[in-house]
Each structure stands twice: as C-alpha cells, then as structure tokens.
Amino acid sequence: MSRTARSSSKVASVVPVSFYERAPDIVARALLGKMVVRDWKTERLIGRIVEVEAYFGTEDPAAHSYIGRTARNAVLFGPPGIAYVYFIYGMYYCLNVSCEPDGQAGGVLIRALEPVAGLETMAKLRKLAPNPKPQLLTSGPGRLCQALDITRAAHNGLDVTDPSSCLRIEDDNYHPEAIQVTPRIGIRHAADLPARFLIDKNKFVSGSR
C-alpha cells in the first residue's frame, strides 16, 4: 500500500446521517461542494452541489412543512438524510434532503449542480441537442432532476446516506473558497429571509427571476 495523502483525500465517501441531523441552514451551507451521485443503468451521473436553499419546518411559511404533516410532506418530518422529491407546476420535480432529528421538520432544496460526470447522458435525459452549454444541464432545481432522471415515484423517501442507494450524496473533500448568502428564489412567502446559499462566482448557479 503506497497511497499518498493527496490521492486518499480524493476518495469520495457517503455523507453520514449525523451530518443532516442539524438545522436546515447549517446543513444547506455545509452541502455546498458535496457531490450528488446517481447510478443510472450502467452509468454514474455526478454533479457537484453549487446552490441550495434551507426550508425551516413548521415555522417557515415558504416551507411545505408549514401546514403540518400530510401524506405528501411526511418525509420532511421523518428521519434526516432522506430524499424528498415533489412534483411542481405540472411538469418538473425538485430534490430536497430532509434534516433535523426524526419528528422535527426541515429540509434543504438542491437548486443547482456543476456537472462532473455523465454529461452526454444528462443531455439526452434533458432532450437537448448534443454538446449543449453545460449550464443548461443542471442549473436549476427542475433541470437537475431531469438531467439525473430523479422522480417522485422512484426516489421520494430514499436514503441518500446509504452507499447502496442509486441516489446518494458523497464528500470528496472539496471545500468551496467563498460562499454567498441571498434570499430564496421563486417563492411568495418569507421571500426576504436569507436562506439561499451558493458558491461565489460559480458559473452553474441558477439565474434569479
């Protein structure tokens, strides 16, 4: 065994449950730079998280959990580290990860990824012409779900801390240099709360509207 410190630091490992057992804004900020890994057929589609938003349980009018526990949002009230996937505007899915301890609601919305592996397949899943601008693949919550073939039926309730899950979040020891905090995007309630976190100067963050 002659593995150097440099190469061993690049070995990716799944992010543990304890990581998610904290407040949504803490988890959101800490998720920047982590990798979303999707085993799709025989391929591995990978994107680095560059933009996220925190949603605060029953106290946050913009959060799905604000109205209390229902069949739809049950995942947010359950154990941490579970994928919460919902369908929005009749055609798109959005990917969240539950946080806070079991019984307490909270979640983080993954808003944008920097594509790392499987770009050709992502383009096909997005129904784009070959060799599109990479920003069109995964910059936006609806886009990244389409690019990684993430659906509510297949992935809602999945444990992203399980190394055998087809959708999981891994840490390869990448640490973003600078992080920016802004209000959340595309919501009507509590739109002034600074709960959107992004990697400063990264080209793959989604635009504001």
Least Cβ distance, residue 42 to DNA (angstroms): 26
95, 52 Cβ separation under 8 angstroms? no
Measured on CA atoms in the order 198, 201, 204, 205, is the torsion positive or negative? positive
Between 13 and 70, name the residue whose CB sits nearer to DNA.
70
Given candidates 5, 91, 129, 178, which one binds DNA under the rule CB under 7 A? 91
Compose the 43-82 pattern: x for residues touching DNA by CB under 7 A, - for all others: ----------x-x------xxxx-xx-xxxx--x------
Stretch in the footprint of DNA (CB under 7 A) among 12-20, 31-39, 164-172, 187-195: 187-195
Least Cβ distance, residue 168 to DNA (angstroms): 19
**What is the DSSP-derived secondary structure letter of residue 16?**
P
| Residues whose CB falls within 8 Å of the CB of residue 134, separated by 6 or more in sequence, listed in order | 115, 119, 204
Given candidates 9, 13, 16, 88, which one binds DNA under the rule CB under 7 A? 88
**What is the DSSP-derived secondary structure letter of residue 185?**
S
107, 21 Cβ separation under 8 angstroms? no
157, 55 Cβ separation under 8 angstroms? no
The residues that touch DNA, with contacts defined as CB under 7 A, are: 53, 55, 62-65, 67-68, 70-73, 76, 84, 87-92, 94, 96, 107, 109, 126, 136, 140-143, 184-189, 206, 209
